[in-house]
Structure 1
Amino acid sequence: MYSQNDLDDAVASGAITPESAASLRAFVDRQRSSPAVDEEHFRLITGFNDIFVSIAAAILLFAVGWIGQSIGQNLGFVVDERGPSPLAPALVAATSWGLALFFTARRRMALPSILLLLTFVGGVVGSVGLTLVTLFAAPELEAGQQAWVAGLIGAAAASAGAVAAFVHWKRFRVPITVAAGAASVAGIVVALIGAIIGDTPSTLNIVLGVVLVLGIGVFLYAMRWDSSDPARISRRSDVAFWLHLLAAPMIVHPVFTLLGLNDGNASIGEGLVVIAIYVALGIAALAIDRRALLVSALAYVLFAMNKLFEQFGAVSLNIALTALVIGSALLLLSAFWHQARAAVVGRLPGSLRGHLPSLNPQPA
């Protein structure tokens, strides 16, 4: 299987002409009876070898982390005498970078590249965070001081993650790296806000509000990448995909939580609100041609519809009825995605349509 990025690289290397690549894309579109722009392609695996290498890499990284923890314990470089050692994530990060030099830079394997990026950034965040906890965290601090120190440590660790993601992007250009960097930046903001406001009854709601605003910011940033490649034939589309995947839960979870829909009980009114919000998210997903919003909110709408069927007395079949309704609706939407998009996008102003994926993209 060849991805859009593979075709771009083949054109760049001179293996095929741009016209041949465009003809191949058009042929695939006709075979699928759906434009490639609506398929939401992204590289996850290039073959079973990706899975094989990822499993082997995960085992190796686990072993390296275990060895780092053992060395840290022997040196006394641990949190609270018997806690985790900063050496464990540091060795994981270093090993991930070394493996990426071969499997990402040379072999260009999709799934291992994603795994190694996440373990590299996560290892840097963990090593910096644990080091700062070891050096500066003190149980004798007052509650307000502990919140302040914890916030600053979290912000510093997230800053290290952002720098790590930037360095990794400059070297390897793995599409998910931009989302990892955006998540690190969001972590910096949330940690600093938490440090400023401390532990108060309203802290959770304030943090959720901040996460919602940050999620909207990530969504707009994703749209910037998307609008630069409306035909979705380059790596920029992959970057936008991961950013949308990050933005969706950052938007959806705070909205439903702040509305009080995560307390374990849902009235008929609350259930209808959830469904109405899900319909609105569905329209937005159609407009931007991204399904991440629908997937992120799926758990909430399943829970709400389950409660609605219970309210109407269908207790014994509530789960089955919920799955039947939602599953059927999503399958119908998938089958007629392009037609539904045309109905939604066709009603939008022309100035807005210009920033959205084209309904009838011309191969280039």
Structure 2
Amino acid sequence: MYSESDLEGAVAAGVIPQSAADAFRQHIAAMRVAPAVDEESFRLLTGFNDIFVAIAIALLLTSIGWLGGWVKTGLGGFGVAVAAWALAEYFTRVRRMALPSIILLLAFAGGVAATMVGTLVDINPDWSDQTNALIATGIAVVTGGATWLHWKRFMVPITVAVGAASGVAALVALYVAVTHVGEEGIFPLVLLGGIGTFALAMWWDGSDLTRTTRRSDVAFWLHLAAAPMIAHSVFHMLGVFQGQIGVAQALIVMALYLVFAFIALAIDRRALLVSSLAYVLYALSMLFRQAGAVELSMAFTAFVIGSALLTLSAFWHPMRRAVIGTLGKLGNRLPPVQMPVAA
């Protein structure tokens, strides 16, 4: 199986002309009765060997972290970060394996953060809450800087999303340190961070509207990072999952999900729909319960939402065409509803 990145690389290397690559994309789109952009492709697996190598990497890094942590708390994270970088020199730069590269990036970022956390725990495990918040700010900033260095070296698409998440975490931790707010007070800032990450994702998407380069993969992971920040913050502030919700609250949740569906169709990304799915399932089940279907509320909910999502998937292209049609000139800045014809 060949990905868009492989096709792009073949064109760059002169193996096939750009016109042949465009014709191939149009052929696949015609077979699927949908433009290639609507598939929202991203590279995760090139073959079963990716899974095999990923399992081996996970076992090796786990053992390094375990053994290092046994010697000294911060040493485990340091060993994982160093080993992840070293392994990426081969599996990412040379072999260009997708899933192992993602795991190695996450392990590197986690190892950098764990090194600092473990070292500070060794120094003093009982810092004050304000000090912990300031420490968390510093850890998030350093982790973000480390991911930037990783990006400059390996350019794994998920790296930008990890860096963006680190930036949001740093801002939230700094806000907590300055204002001393509790958990409830951070959600407006998390929402703003999610919107900022979403805007960054749209910037990357806007630079590759036909989704034929690595920039589209970067945008995919940014959308995947932004969606839970937005959805969780909005629904948490509405009080969902904080007790029994009423009919009005449930209807608001359903209405917001429809808004998210409109946005998802417009930008041709499904992350918002997936991230808010748990909330709409809960809200709809509450509606069925209050209508009297107590024992079968979850069954009815799963049936309704499952049918709706399958319908949305089957008619994604015509529904998206209708949504783009309502946006006027703004639609020209979004992924096309039809692939351009090759020369």
Normalised to the residue count of structure 2, the TM-score between the two structures is 0.97
In 1, the alpha carbon distance for the partners of 2:31 and 2:189 equals 45
Match of 1:95 in 2: 83
Q: Shift in Å at residue 138 of structure 1?
A: 5.9
Match of 1:9, SS state, is helix
Deviations 1:60-88 (A, max 9, x none): 0111011101221xxxxxxxxxxxx0111
Question: How many aligned positions are there?
Answer: 342
User: Are residue 361 (structure 1) and residue 342 (structure 2) matched?
Assistant: no
In 1, the alpha carbon distance for the partners of 2:192 and 2:333 equals 21
User: Are residue 46 (structure 1) and residue 46 (structure 2) matched?
Assistant: yes
In 2, the alpha carbon distance for the partners of 1:69 and 1:225 equals 39
Match of 1:206, SS state, is helix
Q: Which structure 1 residue ranges, 4+ long, deviate > 6 Å from structure 2?
A: none
Contact 1:287 1:341 in 2 (8 A): yes
Deviations 1:305-353 (A, max 9, x none): 1111000001121111000000000000000001010111101030x21
Give the residue type in structure 1 aligned to 2:294.
Answer: V
Deviations 1:259-302 (A, max 9, x none): 11121311111111110110110001000100000000000000
Contact 1:231 1:363 in 2 (8 A): no
Match of 1:337 in 2: 316
In 1, the alpha carbon distance for the partners of 2:315 and 2:30 equals 16
Contact 1:133 1:153 in 2 (8 A): no
Match of 1:82 in 2: none
In 2, the alpha carbon distance for the partners of 1:246 and 1:264 equals 27
Match of 1:160 in 2: 142
Give the residue type in structure 2 aligned to 1:175.
Answer: P
Match of 2:71 in 1: 71
Match of 1:328 in 2: 307
Give the alignment's Cα RMSD to 1 decimal: 1.2
Contact 1:93 1:122 in 2 (8 A): yes
Match of 1:303 in 2: 282
Give the residue type in structure 1 aligned to 2:298.
Answer: I
Percent identity between the two aligned chains: 51
Give the residue type in structure 1 aligned to 2:44.
Answer: L
In 2, the alpha carbon distance for the partners of 1:228 and 1:283 equals 22
Give the residue type in structure 1 aligned to 2:51.
Answer: I
Q: Shift in Å at residue 165 of structure 1?
A: 0.7
In 1, the alpha carbon distance for the partners of 2:48 and 2:142 equals 33
Deviations 1:184-239 (A, max 9, x none): 111110110111112x5xx3232111000010000000000001111011100000
Segments of 5+ residues of structure 2 without an aligned counterpart are none
User: Are residue 110 (structure 1) and residue 120 (structure 2) matched?
Assistant: no
Match for residue 107 of structure 2 among 101, 119, 126 = 119
| Greater CA drift, 326-335 or 267-276 | 267-276
Contact 2:112 2:146 in 1 (8 A): yes
Contact 1:103 1:112 in 2 (8 A): yes
Match for residue 226 of structure 1 among 205, 215, 221 = 205
Contact 1:126 1:157 in 2 (8 A): no
Match of 1:15, SS state, is coil
In 1, the alpha carbon distance for the partners of 2:233 and 2:293 equals 30
Match of 1:289 in 2: 268
In 2, the alpha carbon distance for the partners of 1:11 and 1:51 equals 28
